[in-house]
Amino acid sequence: MDIAYSDKNPDLGRLYGAHLATVCERYDHALQASGASHAVVFSGAAHPVFLDDMVYPFRAAANFLCWAPLSDLPLSYVVYTPGERPVLIYNQPRGYWHVVPGAPDGYWTRYFDIRIVHELADASDHLPENRDNCVFIGEVLEPTQALGVERVNPSTTLNLLHYPRGRKTEYEIECMRLASRRGVAGHNAAKRAFMDGASEFSIHKAYCDAVSLTDNELPYGNIIALNEHAAVLHYTALDRQAPDPYRSFLIDAGAQVHGYASDITRTYSFDDSDFSDLIDRMETLQLDVVADVRAGVDYKELHVQTHHRIADVLVEADLASGSSESLLINGVTSTFFPHGLGHLLGTQVHDVGGHMENESGNTIDPPSGHPFLRLTRTLEENMVVTIEPGIYFIDMLLDKLKGTPAEKQVNWQRVADLKPFGGIRIEDDVRVKQDGCENLTRDAFSTA
């Protein structure tokens, strides 16, 4: 593995102490406000397959990953008491059937009081005597995993932890810069495979090879869509056969470094100039939206403004006619752009807290008519968010316009001409700054 992506990376080592201090402060506040003295944060367990002796691939809990870069350490715990060094109960089972976690190693180890255990039953020995003063954060599949703590995932505590997670530490941002760099290596390999006429399956393999991650290690299932498959927003099938003719390619694929994700989408045309023109227009639109990102901007408004920009593109590309206002009201823009502008990014690709108004658990609804918008907060410095506008040719949604005032606004011949290309989405990950943003994705593409 690239040393930069490992727990030997000196830059991450330099930033980690301050990150951990921020995590501790957030827990200090959350514990105090929820009347508890200790937090027990569980990494999780692999889910068993029904009536089988197999398990689904393990995914460490997002809250656990904020403590330490331990994405492959099931049945382990961080026990935190304000003012004390956090205890890491590091589960290293004995056995010869599976690879067992190695000895703790890396820049993070010196910040923990590490207790190695070899079975779950021994973890209890490392918890405070009085379990009534503890809150447990994590998914409990079997009651024993809660180690006798009864306050499991109290919503008060979760809200207090999830709201500030929207703002990232310098360490987290550096992890995501690296995740962008890693993802971009995959994107460039995938683009080459597309230009060679490869199948979706082959493009996917080229991607995984370039990022050096297995399917299970990717932050989300790759979307590798050729031709009309690009119209399926979460297309995750992988055709083994290259289509003929070969027209267009939408790739939505990310990578992760220490559990922090990148989430990147690009769209390419094989040789058609008409579809290329539409991609160019969307590229300009996407960069215009990114240029509006700064602290204090209401993300809901950014989303609605994007609909107005989509209306302009539809008119310029001769796909629709009328004022942008009428194209919004009549549902034309939401037919072509039926998802949200983006979301928070972190240890979850759609990071928690996108609808939170404050740490008390109040929420901000998406604007009416925009139910799929995952982020409704006002942007703050050091939030990392995606900006991912799109235009698609989706029969199910287009059919709904028939018989409505919108029917006359759509140029159906033009839609029929472009439908075989599926759709376009362009997605960057940006870090919000006081006066603008840092574009993690574009920076990674330009240094690749």
Q: How far is the CB of 195 from Mn ion (least distance, A)?
A: 24
The CA-CA-CA angle for residues 416, 418, 422, to 5°, reads: 110
Angle at Cα 206 formed by Cα 204 and Cα 212, nearest 5°?
100
386 binds Mn ion (CB under 5 A): yes
Query: What is the footprint of Mn ion within residues 223-282 (CB under 5 A)?
Result: 263
Nearer to Mn ion, 116 or 233 (CB): 233
CA distances from 97 to 42, 74, 93, 110, 173 (A): 24, 16, 11, 30, 37
Look-up of token digits 């109960």: 89
CA dihedral 104, 108, 110, 115 (to 10 degrees): -40
Q: Which residue is nearest to Mn ion (CB)?
A: 263
Report d(CA 57, CA 60) in Å as an integer.
Answer: 10
Q: Choose one: 200-208, 216-224, 379-387, 439-447; the region binding Mn ion (CB under 5 A).
A: 379-387
**Secondary element (H or E) of residue 302:** helix 299-316
Give min distance, CB of 109 to Mn ion, in A.
Answer: 33
Cβ-contact 300, 374 below 8 angstroms: no
Residue 263 vs 443, nearer CB to Mn ion: 263
Shortest CB 386 distance to Mn ion, Å: 4
Part of the chain binding Mn ion (CB under 5 A), chosen from 119-127, 226-234, 309-317, 383-391: 383-391
- Separation of alpha carbons 371 and 39, rounded Å: 35
Question: What's the min distance (Å) between Cβ of 150 and Mn ion?
Answer: 37
Using CB under 5 A as the binding rule, the residues of this chain from 30 to 59 that contact Mn ion are none
Nearer to Mn ion, 386 or 439 (CB): 386
Nearer to Mn ion among residue 114 and residue 233 (C-beta): 233
* CB 291 to Mn ion: min, Å: 19
User: Closer CB to Mn ion, residue 19 or residue 168?
Assistant: 168
- For Mn ion (CB under 5 A), the number of binding residues is 2
Q: Which is nearer to Mn ion, 174 or 429 (CB)?
A: 429
Q: Is 222 in the site for Mn ion (CB under 5 A)?
A: no
DSSP-derived letter for residue 136 is E
Cα 250 from Cα 236, distance rounded (Å): 12
Q: How far is the CB of 444 from Mn ion (least distance, A)?
A: 16
Binding span for Mn ion by CB under 5 A among 159-167, 188-196, 313-321, 380-388: 380-388
Q: In the bound complex, what is the minimum distance in angstroms from residue 69's beta carbon to Mn ion?
A: 22
Would you say 222 or 386 has its CB closer to Mn ion? 386
CB 117 within 8 A of CB 105: no
Q: Counting contacts by CB under 5 A, is residue 441 touching Mn ion?
A: no
Least distance CB 62 / Mn ion (angstroms): 16
Residues 6+ apart with CB under 8 A from 17: 111
Pick the closer one to Mn ion by CB: 176 or 332: 176
Rounded to 5°, the CA angle 295-301-307 comes to 130
Amino acid (one-letter) located at 117: V
Give me the residues that bind Mn ion (CB under 5 A), please.
263, 386
